[in-house]
Amino acid sequence: MAKHHSTLGLATTRFADAFAVVENRQPVQPVTLVRPHAARRAARFFVEKFPGRTLYAVKANPSPDLLQILWDSGVTHYDVASIGEVRLVARTLPQATLCFMHPVKAEEAIAEAYFTHGVRTFSLDTIEELEKIVRATNAADDLTLCVRIRVSSDLSKLSLASKFGAGPGETKDLLFAARQAADSLGICFHVGSQAMSPDAYAQAMERVRMAIVEAAVTVDVVDVGGGFPSAYPGMEPPALERYFETIHRAFESLPISYSAELWAEPGRALCAEYSSLIVRVEKRRGEELYINDGAYGALFDAAHVGWRFPVALLREPESRARDMGFSFYGPTCDDLDHMAGPFDLPADIQAGDYIEVGMLGAYGCAMRTAFNGFGADEAIVVGDEPMASLYTGEDRESDNANVFRLGARG
């Protein structure tokens, strides 16, 4: 039975779970399911347990409803990467602190961020970008400037090591120059997306230590960036507390002042569990399922980087068929609209069946397009748990706190 729900702009009704949506709506288009309680839980976890300040990386999911949930749960600082994100968060959360953490920015964007939206924190990885920031802010004396250094992404599923970051031979002069222009000087880095070991941060913090010693500057902020993982099939990371402990130990050993601040920029870890997607099977061809969302919709990562999201068949009575691996084709005319998987589903799945694809809160809605006229969908609030979670339950029998609900489900 659906209950009226009016606290979110996303939806006016609330259902118990994905199957209740299918049973009541029989949707023709894809439907996004949102779980505000999951986002609140993740935010509180970081706010209460990370040994520093949490900045939400808006690029992971820019939903205004999600931004409000995170704010209400104690996240007060936001990592914005474009003037569009600056405007969005400033409009949605006027009291939030915005940090412009893209290392390459238009001078006009810097000026608008500083003079119109009150942004005082900027990242950079070159002398040219430093000069740009100084010009655009009229040599302001209240800047927090975070020098991004290049670190390894070897322990992460998606590399972010090639595009940004000052190399070992560039950091000394850049840190020294930034120190002269900054009210507060920071060092930041990004270990890559979906870091599968806390050692990724230990190795990066060693690079931070070397950079500080070489430049002999006083550092006020150490920002460990993003990379905090979520749970997916075949990617079950250690408990997040282990990441926090590793980061805290490394931070405490750095040659920095007692008053220096520790920051982090979680994106995926705060929003992956927030939403999932209901899709309908339009055709089956052997081990290939044609579904009504895909590479140009919420399943960009499944297509282009081979991400395996958890899936469940939404059918009652529950299928008794064995599971087998399927690949998906999305609805567009493009052959690239293909998700290799494998996605394990009951072998008797057929056209007209519905599937829930889980853990799409991170980057799913952010990557959507309207290519080929597809992609319109509805968003509905549901009250059940996400398909996997790093936040449910404090007593862990192993390093993983992940509970998957895979395959057939009644």
Q: Would you tell me how many other CB atoms lie within 10 Å of the CB of residue 36?
A: 23
Residue 43 maps to a domain: no
Give the confidence band of 12 by pLDDT, cuts at 50, 70, 90.
low
Residue percentage of the chain with pLDDT more than 70: 91
128 and 237 fall within a common domain: yes
Amino acid identity for residue 34 in this structure: V
Average pLDDT over residues 323-339: 92
316 in the same domain as 227? no
Residues 168 and 306 in one domain: no
pLDDT-based confidence at 152, cuts 50/70/90? confident
8 Å CB contact between 235 and 157: yes
| 45 in any annotated domain | no
Verify that 217 and 322 share a domain, yes or no: no
Last residue of a domain, one of 218, 240, 265: 265
**The model's pTM:** 0.91
Does one domain contain both 149 and 279?
Answer: no
pLDDT at 345 over 60: yes
Domain of residue 349 covers: 3-35+274-409
| Same domain as 56, residue 29 | no
259 part of a folded domain: yes
For the chain, how many structural domains are there in total?
A: 2
Question: Are 242 and 384 in a shared domain?
Answer: no
* Residue 42 is assigned to a structural domain of this protein: no
Identify whether the C-beta of residue 164 lies closer than 8 Å to the C-beta of residue 148.
yes
Which of 14, 42, 36, 30 has the alpha carbon at shortest distance from 356?
30
Q: In this structure, what CATH number is given to the domain that contains residue 354?
A: 2.40.37.10
State how far the Cα of 335 lies from the Cα of 324, in Å rounded to an integer: 23
Q: Does 345 lie in the same domain as 214?
A: no
User: Domain holding 195: CATH number?
Assistant: 3.20.20.10
Q: Which of 265, 299, 319 is the last residue of a domain?
A: 265
Residues 6+ apart with CB under 8 A from 148: 103, 123, 124, 125, 164, 165, 166, 187, 188, 189, 190
* Of the candidate ranges 14-18, 21-25, 50-54, 158-162, the one whose mean pLDDT is the lowest: 158-162
260 plus 294 within the same structural domain: no
CA dihedral 103, 107, 110, 111 (to 10 degrees): 170
323: in domain: yes
Per-residue pLDDT tens for 222-281? Answer: 999 999 999 999 999 999 999 999 999 999 999 998 899 999 999 999 999 999 999 999
Q: Same domain, yes or no, for 285 and 221?
A: no
Query: What is the number of other CB atoms lying within 10 angstroms of the CB of residue 95?
Result: 7
Whether 281 is in a domain gets the answer yes
**Phi, psi at residue 157, to the nearest 5°?**
-75, -30
Enumerate the β-bridge partners of residue 314: 354, 409
Structure tokens at 189: 């880095």
- Which residue stretches of 223-343 are H helix? 240-252, 268-271, 300-304
Q: What is the pLDDT of residue 393?
A: 61
Q: What is the mean pLDDT of the chain?
A: 90
Answer whether residue 109 is part of any domain. yes
Same domain, yes or no: 9 and 82: no
User: Is-contact 67 9, C-beta < 8 A?
Assistant: no
Residue 240 is assigned to a structural domain of this protein:
yes
Could you say which of 244, 265, 286 is where a domain stops? 265
Examine the domain organization and report whether 291 and 320 are in the same domain: yes
CA distances from 301 to 57, 372, 373 (A): 18, 19, 20
